[in-house]
Amino acid sequence: MSTEPDYSAEPAVKNLQEYLRIRSVHPNINYDECLDFLKRKAKELDLPVRVFELVPKKPVLVMTWEGLEPNETSILLNSHMDVVPVFEKSWSHPPFDAELVDGVIYGRGAQDMKSVAIIYLEAIRKLKNEGVRLKRTVHLSFVSEEEVGGGEGMGKFVESEHYKELNVGFALDEGIASATDEYLIYNGERSIWHIHVVCRGKSGHGSLLLPDNCGEKIRYIIDKFMDLRQQSKLALEQNPALTIGDVTSVNLTKLYGGIQENVIPEKMTATFDIRLALSVNLEEFENTIKDWCKEAGNGVTYEFTQKDTYVPPTTVDDSNPYWLAVKSALEKLEIPYRVLTFPGGTDSRYVREANTPALGLSPLRRVRPALHEHDESLPASVLLHAVDHYKEILTGVANV
């Protein structure tokens, strides 16, 4: 028999379960059920709500809690409605049933990031129930398409007049759960480059050693990128203070070409996922790629499917009053923290690119990170503690 408390009646738990049961899973998501759920939550909290559809069928919903000084710049709490696909047979609990088992909630989105959206809502519910009014207006944005890059979700939203009218001075978004007592806070992200390198050559019979061979060219290219990958691995091994966000990661993700075993193809293509460290000069790095292509031989070209620009990280020092408010709240709660560079990509990069300071913080600690994994889950106790912690954090930043 489980000795866990019965969390099933907790509003935060019930709301997270309901949200997780909505199959907002890629590909081809219908967001209507998410919108209906969020509109109901907004009504319960007496928060006005608007829906913007800058790209058809890819909505952004915004709730607003007006502050005592609405002319001041506002606070944005961002989350995304979409979740990544699942391999249902590999889950021990159905990924969209949101089962509560021995105090743990199982479901796709339990960490990434429907739980964080519920933490926002429940923190505001508690503050309102306590009669608290905050200085700055707080907007909650629920966006689409983050898990496929966010370009048609938050990317379009920050370019719109709707976003500008929110007058955002500071934003909070997702981070990553922490297995330790610490909260992990992310103030920047590496630039994402997805690149295809196409190697062309002479086609012919597979028994010959023809010149101008695309196989030789693609080997040269792969070696260059993998050498760079090895440099980053060694840097991490040799300096324990570094994290994956501090180095450039390189991964060969696709390799294709050819039509038949005994026919030398006229073209082979290698695709790389590159996340460039904040210390990398992007222009110089692209010039290096150009040089590699020239060195590989004639007919070697490259093209990008994603090419992020450099976005400066959010300042975390005494010049940023919002950072000081977050830091002060965590110190009051006696919660240790670390500031890191996010290893992947979130919607925060679009917000920072729009010149709004943003931090990534999923207030989930003492839990194993399980983003995109089978059996993604979250202990109910972690969720409930996070709500209380977020009350302090939100109060701090909204009263700056």
Q: HEC profile for 192-222?
A: EEEEEEEEECCCEECCCCCCCCHHHHHHHHH
| Confidence band for 344, pLDDT divided at 50, 70 and 90 | confident
Could you check whether the bond before residue 154 is cis, i.e. omega within 30 degrees of 0?
no
Whether 291 is a known active-site residue: answer: no
Distance of alpha carbon 317 from alpha carbon 335, whole angstroms? 18
Return the percentage of the chain with pLDDT > 90, whole number.
97
What's the whole-model pTM score?
Answer: 0.93
* pLDDT at site 30: 97
For the chain, the residue count is 400
* pLDDT at site 52: 98
Return the percentage of the chain with pLDDT > 70, whole number.
99
The CATH class, in words, for 11-189+313-398 is alpha beta
Residue 224: both structure tokens together: 């260059």
* CATH fold for domain 191-277+279-307: Alpha-Beta Plaits (3.30.70)
Q: Which of 82, 112, 246, 392 is catalytic?
A: 82
- Domain spans of the chain? 11-189+313-398, 191-277+279-307
Residue in the block written with tokens 């690149």 = 195
Q: Which of 112, 122, 145, 146 is catalytic?
A: 146
Q: What is the pLDDT of residues 74-95, one digit of tens each?
A: 999 999 999 999 999 999 999 9
Whether 146 is a known active-site residue: answer: yes
Residue in the block written with tokens 């005494």 = 318
User: Residue 97: is its pLDDT beyond 90?
Assistant: yes
Residue 117: both structure tokens together: 């959206």
Containing 49, the helix (H) or strand (E) segment is: strand 49-55
Q: What is the pLDDT of residues 144-164, one digit of tens each?
A: 999 999 999 999 999 999 999
